[in-house]
Structure 1
Amino acid sequence: MDVLDRYGQLRTRLQTLNLYALVDGALYQQHRERQLEQVPGGIVALFSGTADDALAHAGPWLVDAAQVTEAVLRDLISLERAAPAVTWLIAEADLTGLTQLLQLRLDIKLPDGRTALLRFWDPRVLAALFQLMAGDQRTEFFRHIHEWHLLDKGIRVWIGRQDADAQ
């Protein structure tokens, strides 16, 4: 099922849901030969204001589907098919709130105490991460996301908050 169709279906039951695209800035630039640009209230670089601020252009970008043009959405849908550069989130949080929640997930502590960047915006990493997580880890990581959609080896899958299983 198409992400936009699924979002429309869910909105008939829960009007407070919002649709977002999470975009890999480096792959966007590689495939579109331009950088994503911040749009107040519409497009935010998740690295902005973090220790990785200097790399914001290449990091993950959160796009509020309701605040961008249909042409931008079509471009992101096309990019998703061409490269592992886009995942889709359906959540009740507004752009600012979801940005903050996702920024909290950027770094993880390794068993030896070091910090590592968790590339959850990459659909390949997200699919593997989901498989590796225990039930309580899945619940914690995905609890603020109603559904997280991605292409896994060309097949549309989603991770749902209600059942913490890939659909």
Structure 2
Amino acid sequence: MASDVIARLAGLRTRVPALRLYALVDGAQYQLQIGRPILPRSCMASLFEGTADAPLAHAGPWLVDVEQADNELVSDLGRMETWAPAVSWLIAQTDLPGLAELLRQQLDVRLPDGRTALLRFWDPRVLVRLVEVLDGGQLQAFFAHLYEWHMLRDGERVWIGRDHADA
């Protein structure tokens, strides 16, 4: 598990006790890296649930409530983060169903030619690029429901956070 993220959460909770820690994991990478498919549990929600991509939920993004997950799953996610661009950590006040729904609303983007595309923001490489290409209003809209979003970029911890969160 990302001990630096746990330490950061502990510090933030001194001011905002209701903060929760979530992992966002790529289901296809989970199966590839861990050797078994990610299985639905009460501590997780598929972001593809209720969408046109629901039949692909096993391979899509899964939001995991870290505090409700068992040690084996959390350990798997911590190891995976260092092996593949497949795991990021979110700090938010929203409960699991609410945060999953808010993230679902970000899955589809409208292209300039009017077509719709799937935005793979659960891939840390894509997420880091989003910060570079979105304007201020778009960033605010995309990240408004989160306190901080942590990921590895080239092996180094980086995070995206609210303006009022202390770095």
TM-score by length of 2: 0.94
SS in 2 for 1:56: helix
Q: Is the 8 Å Cα contact of residues 90 and 149 (structure 2) preserved in structure 1? A: yes
Structure 2 residue aligned with 1:36: 38
Show CA shifts across 1:118-143 (max 9, x none): 00000000001111111111111101
What is the aligned partner in structure 1 of residue 138 from structure 2? 137
- Asked whether the equivalents of residues 21 and 63 of structure 1 are also in contact (C-alpha less than 8 Å), the reply is yes
CA distance in 1, matches of 2:94, 2:51: 20
Residues 34, 76 of structure 2: 8 Å contact kept: no
Q: Any residues of structure 2 matched to 1:102-117 within 5 Å, and which?
A: 102-117=103-118
User: Aligned equivalents of 2:54 and 2:73: distance in 1?
Assistant: 24
How many angstroms apart in 2 are the aligned matches of 1:97 and 1:81? 28
User: Contact 1:146/1:162 (CA < 8 Å) preserved in 2?
Assistant: no
Map of 2:28 onto structure 1: 26
TM-score (ref. length: structure 1):
0.94
**In the TM superposition, what are the counterparts of 1:1-167 in structure 2 within 5 Å?**
2-40=4-42, 42-162=43-163
> Any idea what SS the aligned residue of 2:51 has?
coil
**In structure 1, the residue corresponding to 2:38 is in which secondary structure?**
coil
- One-letter identity of the residue aligned with 1:13: R
The list of structure 1 runs, each at least 4 consecutive aligned residues, that deviate by more than 3 angstroms after superposition, is none
Distance 1:130 1:151, change over 3 A: same
Q: Deviations over 1:2-46 (max 9, x none)?
A: 111111111121111010000000001001111111112x11111
The whole-number CA distance in structure 1 between the counterparts of 2:71 and 2:40 is 17
- The code of the aligned residue for 1:22 comes to L
Alpha-carbon distance in 1 for matches of 2:51, 2:58: 13
Is this contact kept in 2: 1:38–1:44, CA < 8 A?
Answer: yes
Shift of residue 163 of structure 1?
5.7
Q: CA deviation at 1:70?
A: 2.5
Stretches of structure 2 lacking an aligned partner (at least 5 in a row): none
Cα distance in 2 for residues equivalent to 1:29 and 1:73: 15
> Could you tell me whether the CA contact under 8 Å between 1:90 and 1:147 is conserved in 2?
yes
Q: CA RMSD in A?
A: 1.4
